[in-house]
Structure formats: C-alpha cells, structure tokens
Amino acid sequence: MKVKSIGLIGLGMVAGVAASLQFSAIAQKTPGGAPLPLDELRQLADVYGLIKTDYVEPVEDKKLLSEAITGMVASLDPHSVYLDKKAYREMKESMQGRFVGLGIEVAMEDGYVKIVTPIEDSPAFRAGVKAGDLITRIDNTPIKGMSLDEAIKKMRGAPKSRVVLTIARKGEDKPWIVPLLREEIRVQSVKAKMVEPGYAWIRISQFQEQTVEDMAKKVSALYAQDPKIKGIVLDLRNDPGGLLPGAIGVSAAFLPHDKEIVSTVGQIADQNQTFYGRREFYSQRSNSDPLAKLPASLKTVPMIVLVNTGSASASEIVAGALQDYKRAIIMGSQTFGKGSVQTLRQLTADTAVKLTTARYYTPEGRSIQAKGIVPDMLVDETAEGDGANSLRVREADLEKHLSDGSGKDAKTQVKTRRDELEEEQRAASFARSRKPLEFGSKDDFQLAQALNHFKGLPVKLAVADSKLDKDDTKDVPDALPAAPPELKKDVKKDVKK
C-alpha cells in the first residue's frame, strides 16, 4: 500500500471526523524495528472478545475497531485525528477553501467543545458566536461524554439544514440557544485594499492551495493603483493556519530570495527539514513562479504584521520569520501557539490519518509550540482593552497539548483566580456590548495604530506591554525603516535535533 503525505499546519478542526479502518495493514514489527508489544495487544484482543461475547447486546466488528483506532489516535494530542471517507473528503474540500458547516474552528476543553475562532462571514460569525464560547449541547443532545470527532460530525450536514447549539459564555448566567443553518463555507483567502493614500492592507484569513497566487494578484493590483506604496499592513488576525506552502510563499514575497523560512523536527528523517523561500517550496502546482513578477520594492517597503490570539500555525510561521529577520514589526496580541505539523497520511483512496509528526521552528530556532509569537508591540483589540480576544483559548490551554520540545512548560503569567474572573467578566461584558469587529474597517483600532506607527505618530500600547518578560520581546525601532535588500543579519540556528 502506497502511503502519501501532505503537510498540514492549521488547526484543522473544521471538518467532521470519524473512523473506519481495517487492522489488516498492521505489520509484524514497528517501523523502527522494535517488536510489537504482544502482551498489550493480547489484552486488546481479550477486551474485544469479551465485548463480542458478554456485552448486553451485539456490537458490530466495524464499530469496535473503528472506535479503538479513533481513541488511539485522539489520545495523542488535540490535532491528531482519523479520517473516514466522509471526513477525508471534507478535509480536502476545506484545504481548497470550501466545505459545508457552521464556520467555526473548535477544540475540546473539560468535556465541552470550545470555539477557537469563528470564520469570517460564516453562519456562526453572523450569529455572534465568539472565540472562547463553550458548546454544551447540539440539537439538545449533551456534549459531555462525546469525543470531539462525534461533536463535529453532529455539526456537519447538508446545506440549508438546521442545527441548534447551546452555548455557555463566560460572564453569562444563562446558556445561549443559537439556531443556525448550515451552508457551504467559501473562505476568501486573501483580501487587499488601499486603506489610505500610500498605505496598503493585505489580509490572509486562511492559508489555502491558491493563497500565494491570490496574494500575488492582489499585491500587483495594489501597486498598479499606487506604485509608491509607503507601508504595508499584513493582517493575520484570526488566521487559524492551513497549508505549509502558503506560509512559505507569503513569507518569501517579503524576504530576499532563498532565505530560510521555517524548519521542522520530528522522529523520522523526512520530518527533519528546512524550507526556504524558493519556488519549489511554495508553488508545486505549476512550473511558473507566482512571485516572479512582483515589484522589487515589496522586499523593502516598511511593514507591520497584525496578529492576535486567533493567529495560529501557518500565520505564526509567517510572523516568526518576518520577526526573526527584522523585516517587519509584529503588532497585536500574543498568538495561539500551535507550533506542530500535521501530516495527512493517506491509507486508502478515501481514508487517512492526520498525525502530528513534527514541531516547527523559526529561522532563529525558536519553537512556537504552546507559546506562540510575542509581538514587538502589544496593542489591544480596541481603545478600551483587548475585549473578547482576552477570552480566547490558546494551545497551552488545550488538554493533551504538545510541549514546546524544550522539556519545560511554556511560560505563563501568574494570576490569581480573582484576577482571572475580573478580567473575564470585563471582557465578556465588553464583548456583549459590541458587534463583531470588521478587520480593515474605519473602526479597526489595531489597524489605526499600525498606520500611526508608519507616520511616526503615538501608538497606544496595551498595559500588559510593560509587564512582558524582557526575554520575550524584540528591540523595536522608534520609526519603521525599510529593510535592507540583503538582510545582512546572520540568523543563528540552535535547534536540537
């Protein structure tokens, strides 16, 4: 059986997943040559036999084996899952930027489904569902006791079909009942416009197969509109990740040719790789280079990258690379912290396992896993504070999350429970009082602060900026100069293989 693999680095929890796989593919020895644990396998066979003979009612073989495989893979970390025919098809559709569902990125927490990020312009987003919300029931069926795969499967369905979510929100006394209609979600990967004369805004909402090509077209159109762009804001807020080639290509567009973008370190040799800003790493669908005709000034134009707690995985790769080379100032809130690579191992023509196979590292050898990218300039979501962003779940909050590989837990700010409750209540109260933020609009506070920095005007920093550990911050210039074409800074690599 030929096994194919596709590198995935997104949160990857939009499509429903279940399991159905035959045990016939199990070999006599593990890939590393060590013998299989026969005693444990006998116990598994014994339990299987007991269920078949003694359980109160008959159970299908397929169900038992499928659930065993599902549980085995799901026990590893929050991002490893087994995909049956339906789930595998939905996964491929989501990589192409389209799928049927509610439009939410989710994770499991304390037995409930927690919203990581609502996707822009989706049914959930329009209904006011926010990051940090807990789904406690689906069509009045309690979530408690379900696997994440089962919960996601219940939220998927035919277009225009109805589903009712019961949501618990921090700071609210009563649950919130939300009726939603499923629809085909088409994620527009790249948006771009001139927000002011001389200043461009490029938003990437998700890294898909066509992201690099789409961004190149949008950038070319911006330069046709204004050949003398003075500053670019790359907006990666609420970008949950996606495909690795997209992250490499976006980074390469703003960096000199052939610079290292990211490296991965895992157990097997093909996961210990370094990826560079070359066409073969970001554009394998054609022989042409989508970045070849972009203006040379794109490599040096002053640049700010906006991130928040919803920025994960591929977006963290881009932010980390541009930060390491001092190519751009990173502004906003600390990112999600998903620094692991999921590889889609195709088992049959229509089934696969999405398995965590490596950690990724920035050009300076920094692991992002369970920590994230700390902005050069911490700026709250609004002038009044960080709002709902402060309620978001992060990788380090997820049950069974992978460590950063250093043997140490990710640093967290020590707070008392009273501090946490007061902060949650303030943020929840604020979130209830306003509509979902439209990124790139005239009311976008963080974007306004980015434009202020370009112009040398005062920037309103978050109060927490003064409390950051000095080791977590980068030197931030008073003004934002253009990056030198050669980026002479030597980037040191200290990844322990």
- Is 371 known to be catalytic? no
- Is 313 known to be catalytic? yes
Q: Which of 313, 315, 333, 390 is catalytic?
A: 313
CA distance 136 to 228: 52
What does the CA dihedral 403, 409, 414, 415 come to, rounded to 10 degrees?
30
The one-letter amino acid at 159: P
- Is 191 known to be catalytic? no
Q: Which of 324, 376, 404, 444 is catalytic?
A: 324
Q: Which two tokens stand for residue 263?
A: 């490296």
**C-beta atoms surrounding 53 within 10 Å:** 7
Helices (H), 433-496: 445-454
Q: Which two tokens stand for residue 282?
A: 């970001």
Distances (CA, A) of 36 to 29, 42, 170, 353, 377: 6, 11, 46, 20, 51
CA distance 214 to 232: 17
**C-beta atoms surrounding 309 within 10 Å:** 28
Q: Which of 153, 218, 338, 354 is catalytic?
A: 338
Upper half-sphere CA count for residue 78 (Cβ side, 13 Å): 32
CA distance 338 to 317: 10
**C-beta atoms surrounding 159 within 10 Å:** 10
Residue 495, sorted as left (phi over 0), alpha (psi -120 to 50) or beta, turns out to be beta
Question: Strands 303-307 and 329-332, how do they pair?
Answer: parallel
CA distance 210 to 193: 19
| Burial of residue 272, with CB atoms counted within 10 A of its CB: 0-12 exposed, 13-18 middle, 19 or more buried | middle
Give the active site residues. 313, 324, 338
